[in-house]
Amino acid sequence: MTISTPCRHLTRDERLQILTLYNAGHGNRQISRQLGISEATIRRTIRSFNAASGPVPLTPTKSKGRRPFIDTPTRRRLILHATLNAEQRRK
């Protein structure tokens, strides 16, 4: 029976170390041994930073998120309308 170690999240510094070593040309196994982190974690970290598309950036790219429900000009008009008092709206 194997005893598994408890899961823990990598710190930002650990992720930066992994990415720095990877960008310097070290292999996954070498990084794993040097930092004492499993090879699977090294692979997962590098993959999450889009390693397939060239050099790995030090910070992840932000996802674009959901598109706005209404366009900017309409949004501005609605905000203006909502912030005016009743007398100003009648003009």
pLDDT in tens, 37-90: 999 999 988 888 754 455 555 556 666 777 778 888 888 888 888 888 767 766
CA end-to-end distance (rounded Å), the chain: 80
Residue 29: its pLDDT value, please?
A: 94
Does 42 reside within a domain? yes
Split into its structural domains, the chain has a count of 1
Does 4 reside within a domain? no
Does 20 reside within a domain? yes
Residue 61: its pLDDT value, please?
A: 62
Does 70 reside within a domain? no
Does 44 reside within a domain? yes
Whole-angstrom Cα distance, residue 40 to residue 79? 49
Residue range of the domain that includes 16: 10-59
**pTM score:** 0.50
Count how many Cα atoms sit within 13 Å of the Cα of residue 60 in the half-sphere of its side chain.
11
Where residue 49 sits, what CATH number does that domain have?
1.10.10
12-17 long-range contacts (CB < 8 A, ≥24 apart) are 15/45, 16/58
Length of the chain: 91
Residue 36 CB: number of other CB atoms within 10 A? Answer: 7
